[in-house]
Structure 1
Amino acid sequence: MAAPTIFSNPLEKWIFHKTKESVFLVDFVPKKDADGKIEEILNRLETVPEDKRQKLTFEDRCCTGFVVDDKSQELKILCSAHCLDHLFTSENPISAQEIGDLYDINIICDHYECSFRKDKTPDKIRYYSRANIVQIDCDKDLILLNVSKKNVLAYGKNGRACRHSHPALVPSKRHLEPMEKVLMVSWPPFRPRTVALGKVSHCDREYADTSKTNLVGYTMTLVEVNIQSEPGGSGAPLLDADANFTGVLHGGADGCSWFISLPDICQALTSWGILTQ
């Protein structure tokens, strides 16, 4: 047996393997007849430069999501609202129903993607499962989706449901502290299982500490972590040593990332009936 090395990282590998089945790619696709309404919202809010608005009327918006409830015949998936924040401000929120009228919401699970990549058939087509948005918190940058378990597709031509489990991640019971190691599993577009390890820098940043502007009016507390994040990774879970989530990725820059704090997440999930007080 080979001698262990400091590069073995057994705990980090265990956290990744325990949580990877819970992570989904989420793709918001503008509906064919929604471009006019999206453009109207963009022009009314004026939070996006005028020369960039047209692209946003027809562009897909991707993020990462993860399961927070698997008790019923449906999965509840938590993700970030950040990819759609051109459509709302805290003073001008958008409802879940309005987003559902503007976008089709497509998801893929880890099992489907793994099977898809193992199939070397040329010109194969990636099929997505359809999810529904049920809640949004524009102030805290959070969205809740649901999807029937029978509608989570397995890879193949017969459209059968995925038979593997997609276990719900649960909130951390640990008290987060600076210099504590944490792990993130994200899914930027076409880059599944993007894993990063980092250390907590600060546990309760105000939004003004992280950005010179706040056009949306976000009010959440942020956890600052020295960890690399990628476009499309917003919504990824920040995981503790027990493989429980302690934050949700909001965004990052220059090797530093900011996560929606656990109290803000739990408050939203409690108000939505996912957690009990």
Structure 2
Amino acid sequence: MCDEIRIGIIGGGAMAEALIAGMLKERAVLPTHICVSEHKAVRCDELTHKYGIQAQVGAEVFLPHIDVLILAVKPAAAAAAMQESAPLLKEGALVLSIVAGLPIQAIEAVYPEHPVVRAMPNTPLAVGAGMSAYACGTCAGALECTRTELLLGVAGRTVQVQESDLDAVTGLSGSGPAYVFLMMEALIEGGVAAGLKRETATELAAQTMLGAAQMVTSGERSPAELRAAVTSPAGTTAAGLRVLERAGVRSALMEAVLAAAERSRELGSK
């Protein structure tokens, strides 16, 4: 646990909220040890009332006192956020960036005296089921890796990768929940069209996807093996899979990952 760590977050959007919710859900960090800087006062009030954290417009008050600074702004706002925060940040504080496409080299140029870690979590962190990949900068050692894994791992799984892999991570697990939600929407609509009540179809679709994912994460068999095991020749599943293959669903999902990864690379090159 890391409840003694003081954390400052610049940016109060969906991913920042997912991080906050995950850490608090698992009681890893005290609410009073989390500070957020968000340019919208209404959003600050919302986060404060919902989670009991400290949220305000501007980071000047908390920057000299935090142990970890989490950059959670949009890529277009990252440069300004870094330039404004660097002079005030506590000596030795870890800079943990979840800004899509922002390379470690660019972050270290602004925070030369600080260890830097670049991470790509996803929104299921909010319910304790997140997937986070991270890469360490030149000044980040074992302590920073451990701290990163504690903060992100309390609400899901973590994996350390090379920075060159993070664009692909963004395309797969970073954007992946949206692909899954789209598939779930389609399954629900199919169930409704087949005669089910919407609430029943929603429960069936959600639990089916959850159960299938848990079978994969158990590590006993690959997705391909599991799919083959449930597909009887000339059966109902085979009939459904033929439709999916003819519609190009497999190819579309692969292309979605590649397109999101390419967009992440484009953001990093600006």
* Pairwise TM-score range, normalised by the shorter structure: under 0.3
* TM-score between both structures, scaled by the size of structure 2: 0.25
Greater share of helix: 2
Greater strand proportion: 1
Which structure would you say has the larger RCO, counting Cα contacts within 8 Å and 6 or more residues apart?
Answer: 1
Quick check: which has more Rg, 1 or 2? 2
